[in-house]
Amino acid sequence: MASNDLKSTARAMVAPGKGILAADESFPTIKKRFDSIDVESTEENRRAYRELLFTTAGVEAHISGVITFDETLRHAAADGTPFPRLLSDAGIIPGVKVDSGAKPLAGYPDEKITEGLDGLRDRLAEYRDLGARFTKWRAVIKIGHGIPTGFCIDANAHALARYAALSQEAGLVPIVEPEVLMDGDHSIERCEKFTEATLSHVFFQLLAHRVALDEMVLKPSMVIAGKDCPEQASIAEVAQATVRCLLRTVPAAVPGIVFLSGGQSAKLATQHLNAMNALGDHPWELSFSYGRALQEEALKAWKGDSANVGTAQDAFLHRSRCVSAARYGEYTEAMEAA
Q: Is 219 a catalytic residue?
A: yes
Q: Of the residues 177, 192, 215, 296, which is catalytic?
A: 177
What amino acid occupies position 74? Answer: R
Q: Of the residues 179, 219, 296, 297, which is catalytic?
A: 219
Spatial CB neighbours of 52, under 8 Å, sequence gap ≥ 6 = 298, 302, 309, 312, 313, 316
SS (H, E, C) the chain: CCHHHHHHHHHHHCCCCCEEEEECCCHHHHHHHHHCCCCCCCHHHHHHHHHHHHCCCCHHHCEEEEEECHHHHHCECCCCCEHHHHHHHCCCEEEEECCCCEEECCCCCCCEEECCCCCHHHHHHHHHHHCCCEEEEEEEECCECCECCHHHHHHHHHHHHHHHHHHHHCCCEEEEEEEECCCCCCCHHHHHHHHHHHHHHHHHHHHHCCCCHHHCEECCCCCCCCCCCCCCCCHHHHHHHHHHHHHHHCCCCCCEEEECCCCCCHHHHHHHHHHHHHCCCCCCEEEEEECHHHHHHHHHHHCCCHHHHHHHHHHHHHHHHHHHHHCCCCCCHHHHHC
Q: Is 177 a catalytic residue?
A: yes
Catalytic machinery residues: 177, 219
